[in-house]
């Protein structure tokens, strides 16, 4: 049963509330105490948090003049796709050996998500990454769970990444020898993912695909892949140059197109929207017995947040006494 908890923050509410406004709010919880921040103060909330604290974000848009910089292992929980961080998010944790994880869940990030330094223990779940996901430092033990990712950029720095039930428009710029971003030596696993296209002039190496579905959308300039890429379209297990492909499918009639919903891709088969039922009917079944792709598996793709989320925030002001109060309604499943 859903429960609603009310956090009353600020001054005592006036007996006569002459003004009310619903706006995006962040709630920082530290040692059982809550502190609220306005939409343009999200960086301040992150700065004031300490390791293991939780920041809850309501629906609404959080703006910043610069990219949101996260330098500690905290948890940031949003209210779902209507909770937006406008711009980039940079992970800049100094000590990658610190025990624990940095968790970001239930947030629509309009820009890029960069991991700038060596880092271990990153969990991104039910998030929309409208730009690219990319590591500039060694990234260990990362998990991307039920996310939409516009551009996933593997590199030599992505040492161990598990990508579950994600929708990926493009695995982009896989190898670029001139900039030292070779994917060789990485350990990236894509399981139950929809992958629009794999776009690069070079081959991928040391990557695992399991129960995935991909659209044939290469152009002539990108036909320089190792044979394991083509095995995605055979539906049979194979291994080549450290790569593993199991129960993955493609079809010349599978297409991916953009929509006006922030360019979210639509995956179609014979111009019919792909559903688990359609895939099973066509025989596209993974080794887990469910349809291949993001809508199969044990945890199908969804952006509905797990656990606690802020459903509403209201700021009330009495212009005569100048008393104000912020009420945050926090819903738990």
Averaged confidence pLDDT in the chain: 75
Q: 234 Cβ partners below 8 Å, 6+ apart?
A: none
For residue 203, the model assigns a pLDDT of: 52
Q: Which of 58-67, 208-217, 225-234 has the highest mean pLDDT?
A: 58-67
DSSP code string of 106-166:
S-EESS-EEE-S-EEEEEEES-EEEEEEEESS-EEEEEEES-EEEEEE--TTB-SEEEES-
Extents of the domains making up the chain: 128-302
- Nearest Cα to Cα of residue 247 among 230, 265, 234, 260: 234
pLDDT of residue 72: 92
pLDDT of residue 204: 57
Q: How many CA atoms lie within 13 A of 185 on its CB side?
A: 9
Q: What is the DSSP letter of 265?
A: -
- What is the arithmetic mean of pLDDT over 44-68? 92
Residue 150's pLDDT band (boundaries 50, 70, 90)?
Answer: very high
> Quick one: pLDDT band at residue 50, thresholds 50, 70, 90?
very high
Q: Which one, of 289, 271, 272, lies nearest residue 280 by Cα?
A: 289
Going by pLDDT thresholds of 50, 70 and 90, the confidence category of residue 331 is low
In this model, does residue 315 exceed pLDDT 70?
no
Among the ranges given (146-160, 174-188, 230-244), the one the predictor scored with the smallest mean pLDDT: 230-244
Residue 124 scores a pLDDT above 80: yes
């Amino acid at each position: 049963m859903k429960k609603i908890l009310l956090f009353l923050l600020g001054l005592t509410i006036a007996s006569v509330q002459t003004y009310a406004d619903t706006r995006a709010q962040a709630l920082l919880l530290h040692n059982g105490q809550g502190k609220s921040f306005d939409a343009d103060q999200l960086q301040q909330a992150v700065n004031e948090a300490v390791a293991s604290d939780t920041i809850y974000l309501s629906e609404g848009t959080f703006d910043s003049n610069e990219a949101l910089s996260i330098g500690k292992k905290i948890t940031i929980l949003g209210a779902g796709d209507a909770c937006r961080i406008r711009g980039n998010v940079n992970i800049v944790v100094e000590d990658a050996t610190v025990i624990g994880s940095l968790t970001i869940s239930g947030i629509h990030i309009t820009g890029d998500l960069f991991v700038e330094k060596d880092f271990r223990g990153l969990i991104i779940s039910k998030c929309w990454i409208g730009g690219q996901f990319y590591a500039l430092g060694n990234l260990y033990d990362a998990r991307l769970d039920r996310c939409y990712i516009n551009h996933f950029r593997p590199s030599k720095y992505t040492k161990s990444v598990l990508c579950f039930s994600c929708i990926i428009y493009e695995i982009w710029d896989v190898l670029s020898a001139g900039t030292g971003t070779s994917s060789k030596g990485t350990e990236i696993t894509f399981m139950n993912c929809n992958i629009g296209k794999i776009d690069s002039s070079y081959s991928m190496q040391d990557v695992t695909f399991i129960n995935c579905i991909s659209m044939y959308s290469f152009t002539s300039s990108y036909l320089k892949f190792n044979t394991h890429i083509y095995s995605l379209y055979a539906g049979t297990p194979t291994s080549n140059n450290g790569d593993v492909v199991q129960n993955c499918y493609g079809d010349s009639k599978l297409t991916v197109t953009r929509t006006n919903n922030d360019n979210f891709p639509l995956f179609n088969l014979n111009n019919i929207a792909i559903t688990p039922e359609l895939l099973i009917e066509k025989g596209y079944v993974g080794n887990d017995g469910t349809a291949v792709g993001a809508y199969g598996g044990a945890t199908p793709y969804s952006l509905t947040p797990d656990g606690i989320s802020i459903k509403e925030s209201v700021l009330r002001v009495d212009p005569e006494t100048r008393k104000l109060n912020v009420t945050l309604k926090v819903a738990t499943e």
